[in-house]
Amino acid sequence: MVSLRAVGNRRGTWARRCVPVAVVVASVSGFAGRALAAPFAFVANNGSGNISQYGAASGGLSALSPKLVSAGKSPFGMAASPDGKSVYATNTHGNKLWEFSVNRTTGTLTVTGKLEAGQGPRWVAVSPDSRSVYVTNTSADTVSQYSVDRTGALRVKASPVKAGSDPAGVAVSPDGKSVYVANEVDGTVSQYTADQTGTLSPAATTVKPGGFPCGVAVSPNGRSVYVTNPVDDTVVQYSADQTGALSAETPATVPAGSFPAGVAVSRDGKSVYVANEFDDTVSHYSVDQRGRMRPNATARVAAGRLPVGVAVSPDGKSVYVTNDGDNTVSQYSVDRAGALIARTPATVATGSFPVDVVVTR
């Protein structure tokens, strides 16, 4: 979900992301007001200030009506609550976190809240119980923390906690007791414990994957954590003990494509997918019982131009990848071994400069 490529100059500012050619686009009509089956998929379009909305029940993406919903200044990172009721999006240039409710009949989003974040908010994660939300603030070197009450309203939980230099990717363990943040500039991963209210406390130590770590993902059993390292073209893998503390796995790294950014783990924990921004591919790995990754027989498959964000469908049968360079999202089916197979069409149109993608349950 992340990139270090300087892209802000296209819009007159500089913002590093740890994130045209002819494209085949799905020809579909919008589903206006019709009852649809979940899941639904959403894409943050950083350049056009909106979110693309899709039905994804069949695995292939179909544009909803409306196709786009406004999302403020430069929407960037996205997360969906595990209960499927809410979607969150950061506004990198607006220093906001937007909250949307998901219409479970039509799949469309409605804005329900806009809260202040720190300076330069980028990535966002939600706790497994859907009651806590965390946002990395790249320019402030902090993590903002929010609570969600029983009505679904988003509120500031506590003061931001300190992170490393230029925090990017953020992930929460399946038990909600640990939070991990990749810090690009100082080459570390911050570790936090979350109390019963979801409030964060920094752990005593950080780990140092080196380079510019950006994307981070946790396995469904909470025992493995994966961090993309764009400078070294690798994925760093860690084991997590019962307290959530990280230690390097053996081997410590596995090879990826050029400039690996976003990373996602399948629901069964047996597959890991990584978007490689500079060679326009997606790496796919199988995972052994210890959580160690190994590249599949075909280590990489083609994506669109400048792939960044990755998401896996709730049933594990589909994977979606945002392509920032050609304003599309690639869509794949997943075979029994976890390998990716391009769907037809291979890509679907998005808004301008798509960065992140989420899929609801």
| Sheet of strand 75-80: strand arrangement | 75-80, 86-91, 96-102, 109-116
Q: Which two tokens stand for residue 116?
A: 């202040």
Domain limits at 123?
5-19+21-359
| CA–CA gap between residue 285 and residue 271 (Å, rounded) | 6
Task: Tell me the pLDDT of the chain (361 aa) as tens digits.
Answer: 444 443 333 223 324 456 533 223 333 334 445 555 679 999 999 999 999 999 999 999 999 999 999 999 899 999 999 999 999 999 999 999 999 999 999 999 999 999 999 999 999 999 999 999 999 999 999 999 999 998 888 999 999 999 999 999 999 999 999 999 999 999 999 999 999 999 999 998 889 998 899 999 999 999 999 999 999 999 999 999 999 999 999 999 999 999 999 999 999 999 999 999 999 999 999 999 999 999 998 999 999 999 999 999 999 999 999 999 999 999 999 999 999 999 999 999 999 999 999 999 8
164-211 pLDDT, tens digit each: 999 999 999 999 999 999 999 999 999 999 999 999 999 988 899 988
CA 181 to chain centre: 13
3-class SS at 8? helix
Q: How far apart are CA 267 and CA 270, in angstroms?
A: 8
Cα separation, 3 vs 306, whole angstroms: 10
Domain count along the chain = 1
pTM summary value? 0.91
Question: Residue 195 sits in a domain of what CATH number?
Answer: 2.130.10.10
Q: What is the pLDDT of residue 308?
A: 97
User: Strand, coil or helix: what is 10?
Assistant: helix
Please name which of 248, 233, 226 lies closest in space to residue 299, comparing C-alpha atoms: 233
